[in-house]
Structures are given as structure tokens and as C-alpha cells.
Amino acid sequence: MKKELLMASALVSTLGVASVAQAVTATMAGSMKVGAEFESADDSTTDSNTVMDQSNFNISLSETTDGGTTISTSFEIVDEGAVSADDDNAIKLTFTDGSALELLNAGNAAGTHVVAVPGAGGEQGVGGTTTNQAPGDVDFAAGSTALGVEWHSAADFGVDGLKMSASYSTDNGAAKAAAARLENSWGIGATYVTSAGDTAVTIGGGMSGSEIANTGTQADSDQEGFNIGVSAVTGDLTVGIGFGDGDTFVNSTTNGSNQQIDGSVTKAGVSYVSGDITLALGMSSGEAKDGAFGTADTTDDSIDSTSASATYAVASGVSAVIGYTTVDANNDGASSTDGGSAWYVGATMSF
């Protein structure tokens, strides 16, 4: 019996060592946000307040082969009242020359190079209707499917400070249905980093195109567009602006019928760090014309928002934030209840 126990212990120990030796390198990060939001909608006599309890947990996995190629991926678990997992992450191969290739769920290269524009912190927001199609993100026209790849250049691609990407995706081969869907997509993007005196300047953007398939009337409906942006950092001050323009769509399961959308959006923001306090101000102005496939885009939608926040670093990994957002919206050419204002007061603990 004693020998059997010793053999069992040795076997478990051996398997444990083998498991550790064969495991990829894993790193983790996450945060917990707790706060209260106070929202007041336009044309409504009822204000609302909500406790915002949000957590996320991210795990990144990577390992390097004997030939020097790094294989990596990641996933995220988010709890915003209902637990969901973000598994739309590619397998990324990073080669010894600094270039990389993403396989499956790679996204669109036009979105990869969107310049980060400073924006207000906090979880405040104003709820809107699904029929208002004014875009809020400058890469709204950069579509992709899960069956996609994206190539990334190494740093200093031909010119110091330049990086480029190119992507392509295709559909799953399923039969076309009445609901429109993305058939295939392509994208190219670039980011250029330089300096002007004491200011670090980043310029980035991209172009994308996609084909839409469905069994109904398609006409010239598509998804394509471009985005461009620039940010500048001088000491503790960061300013940025971005612009996107193009066509996109929503399918019949979202809006009652396949809708073609011709839109544009401008985002701008500024942030300043003073000791333990970060002040931020951001604005977004989006507009669109939408209409059913095969008809002219005639109805006007718009969403204009301005947000501000103050974030205080209480301790390492702990911050307190107060934020405010105001939204003015029009749907189908008329003022709508998409607008309003909201406050947020809360704290975030990150690791």
C-alpha cells in the first residue's frame, strides 16, 4: 500500500511538472466599476437613476516557438448585469522582423489604425432608439466577418514612425436570406508617429470596403468608407480629433427592413493631467441619411453629444470619477427622445 501511494504521488508530481512545462504564458488584468448614474431624457417627465456594477476580466496567452515566432491570443469576460464572454479574438503570429499576421476574427485594418481621441470617463449615457442611425464611431463603415486575416507591418515600415496593416474577410458560405449580411470585406490602414518640438504627434486612418448579400433587392447598397485622425501630446496635455465618413447598413432583424445608411461623424477631445487628477472633455457629432434597400436615403438622423469628467487617483489601481454627458438628437428629421443628459459618480479598481 505504501509503495502504491508513493507511485501515485510520483505520477501526480510528474504530470504536474509536465503540465506546467507545456503551458503557455498567461497574464491577466481586469477591473471592477461601481457607481450611480442619474439620467434625464428629453421630452420625458420621468428621470431615472441606476446603480452601475460592472466587472471585466481579461486573460492574454502567448508563447514563442524555437524559431522566434510569438503565438498569442486573449479573451475577456464582462459582467454588466449579464455575464458575456468576448471570444472574437484572433490567433496572432508575431515574427522576428516585427511584422505580424492575425488569423480568424482579425477585424478590419481601417479600424486598427483609428487614432485614440481623448474622451470623458465615467459610465454615464443617454438611451436612444434603434431607428436613429447616426454613427458614433469614426470606423463605423469598417466591417468584417469571422473568416478574416490581417497583416501588420513592422515598425518604421519604409519611413521612420510608420506602421501599416491590410485585411480581408469572407462569409461562411451559408445560403442568402432576406436579412442582409456582410459578404466580404477589405481594409487598409496606417499610423504615423512623429514629433514637433516637445509635442508627440500621431496621425492615423484607413479605408475599407465590403459587399452586402441578401435575397431581396440590393441596388447599390454596400458598406465602405474611410477615417482619419490626429492626436498631439505635450507634457500632461493631450488633444485629438477624428473624422469618419461612409456607408453602412442594418439588417431586417434589427430595424424591420434592410436599411442603407450614408453617414459621417466627427469626434474631438482634450485631457489634462494635474497631479492625481485627470480632467477630460469630449464631443461627438454624427449625422446620417437612412432608407430601405433600393430606395433613396432621404430621412435625416443626428446625434450630438458633449461629455466631461474629473478622475482622481485615490491609490494605486483605485480611482474615483465624476462625469457628465449631454445629448441632442434628431430622428427622421424631428427632435426625439434620444437626447437628454446624465451624471455618473463612481469608483474603479483595476489590476
Helix (H) or strand (E) holding 80: none
Query: Can you read off the three cell numbers belonging to residue 290?
Result: 437612412
For residue 23, the one-letter residue type is A
Total Cβ atoms within 10 A of residue 33: 20
Residues 6 or more apart in contact with residue 94 via CB below 8 angstroms: 69, 70, 72, 100
**CA count, 13 A, side-chain hemisphere, 118:** 21
> What average pLDDT does the segment 49-57 reach?
88
DSSP annotation of 16: H
Q: What pLDDT, on the 0 to 100 scale, is given for residue 54?
A: 87
Burial (0-12, 13-18, 19+ Cβ within 10 Å), 196:
exposed
Tell me the C-alpha distance between 186 and 209, whole Å. 5
Instruction: Rank 175-184, 233-242, 257-266, 294-303 by mean pLDDT and report only the highest.
Output: 233-242
Tell me the C-alpha distance between 218 and 178, whole Å. 10
pLDDT band at 304 (very low <50, low <70, confident <90, very high): very high
Helix (H) or strand (E) holding 293: none
Asked if 60 and 37 count as a contact pair (C-beta separation under 8 A), the reply is no
Which phi and psi angles does 140 have, rounded to 5°?
-60, -25
| Of the candidates 306, 299, 304, the residue with the CA atom closest to the CA atom of residue 280 | 306
Please determine, for residue 12, whether its predicted confidence score (pLDDT) is greater than 80. Answer: no
Three-state DSSP at 283 gives: strand
Q: What pLDDT, on the 0 to 100 scale, is given for residue 254?
A: 65
pLDDT band at 15 (very low <50, low <70, confident <90, very high): very low
CATH superfamily of 29-350: Porin (2.40.160.10)
Cα dist. 207→1, 10, 184, 248 in Å?
71, 59, 15, 13
Cα dist. 298→62, 244, 289, 295, 332 in Å?
49, 20, 6, 9, 9
For residue 340, the one-letter residue type is G
More confident residue, 60 or 22: 60
Residues 6 or more apart in contact with residue 205 via CB below 8 angstroms: 110, 113, 114, 115, 189, 190, 226, 227, 228, 229
| Of the candidates 260, 170, 169, the residue with the CA atom closest to the CA atom of residue 218 | 260
**pLDDT tens-digit readout, 112-138:** 999 999 999 988 888 766 678 888 899
Residue identified by cell 448579400 is 213
Residues 6 or more apart in contact with residue 325 via CB below 8 angstroms: 120, 122, 124, 125, 126, 305, 306, 307, 341, 342
> In terms of DSSP bridges, do strands 334-335 and 318-331 run parallel, antiparallel, or are they unpaired?
antiparallel
Which phi and psi angles does 2 have, rounded to 5°?
-65, -40
Q: What pLDDT, on the 0 to 100 scale, is given for residue 48?
A: 80
Query: Can you read off the three cell numbers belonging to residue 311?
Result: 478622475
The domain ranges of the chain are: 29-350
Please determine, for residue 16, whether its predicted confidence score (pLDDT) is greater than 50. Answer: no
Mean pLDDT, the chain, integer? 86
Query: Can you read off the three cell numbers belonging to residue 36?
Result: 450611480
pLDDT band at 235 (very low <50, low <70, confident <90, very high): very high
Helix (H) or strand (E) holding 332: none
Tell me the C-alpha distance between 175 and 184, whole Å. 14
Residue identified by cell 464582462 is 78
Please determine, for residue 20, whether its predicted confidence score (pLDDT) is greater than 90. Answer: no
Please determine, for residue 193, whether its predicted confidence score (pLDDT) is greater than 50. Answer: yes
* Full-model pTM: 0.84
